[in-house]
Structure 1
C-alpha cells in the first residue's frame, strides 16, 4: 500500500469522526447546563469547539482540494483530540448527575 493510499484509508474516516464528535460536543455545550463548571468556562469551551470545527472544515477542504494527497498537522490533530477528551469527560460527569432512563 502506498503512502497516499494509506493516508486516504486513515485520514478520511478520521476527519469524519472529528466532524461527528465536534458536532455532538457543540450541541451538548449549547443545550445543557453544566452545574459543575462555571457558565464562563462552558462558554469558553463551546468557543473552542466552534473554532476547532472551523479549523476542521478548512483542513478537510484543503485535504480534498489536494486530491487527498496532503496530510494534516499532527499537532493540530492532537489539540482536537485533547479538546474532545475534555468534552467527553464533561459528558461523563453530566451523565453521572443526570442519568438517562433510556440507557
Structure 2
C-alpha cells in the first residue's frame, strides 16, 4: 500500500531503486555461474542462449538504472519491461538450484 506521506519520486526511489539493484545482483550471479560452470542438464546451446539472455537483461537493467538516476528518480519502468526480467531471474534461480542439487547427489 502506498505511503501517502511519500512524494511520488521518493516512492519510486524506495521501491524501484532496490528492485533494479536486485536485478543487477541476480543477473551477475547467474552470469558467473553460466560462465564458470558446465550445467549438465542443459545443452551447450541452451546454456549459451541463457547466458546471452542474461547479458541482454543486464544491459537493459543498467540502462534503466542510468535513466532512473539521470532523472533523479522522476521516471518509472513499465511492468511490461519488469516482468521478463523477473521471469529470467526465476529461470536462473531454478537452473542454479538444479545445478546445486545435482552436485550434492
Question: Shorter-normalised TM-score: what interval?
Answer: over 0.9
Give me the whole-angstrom Cα distance separating, in 2, the residues matched to 1:58 and 1:41.
26
1:38 counterpart = 2:43:
yes
1:41-71: CA deviations, max 9, x gaps?
Answer: 0000000000000101111111111111101
Match of 1:96 among 88, 91, 101: 101
TM-score for the superposition, normalised by structure 2: 0.91
User: 2:89 — aligned with what?
Assistant: 84
Runs ≥4 in structure 1, deviation > 4 angstroms? Answer: none
Paired positions, count: 99
**Structure 2 unpaired stretches of 5+:** 1-5
Give me the whole-angstrom Cα distance separating, in 2, the residues matched to 1:90 and 1:79.
16
User: 2:11 — aligned with what?
Assistant: 6
Give me the whole-angstrom Cα distance separating, in 1, the residues matched to 2:71 and 2:19.
17
Give me the whole-angstrom Cα distance separating, in 2, the residues matched to 1:4 and 1:67.
8
**Structure 1 unpaired stretches of 5+:** none
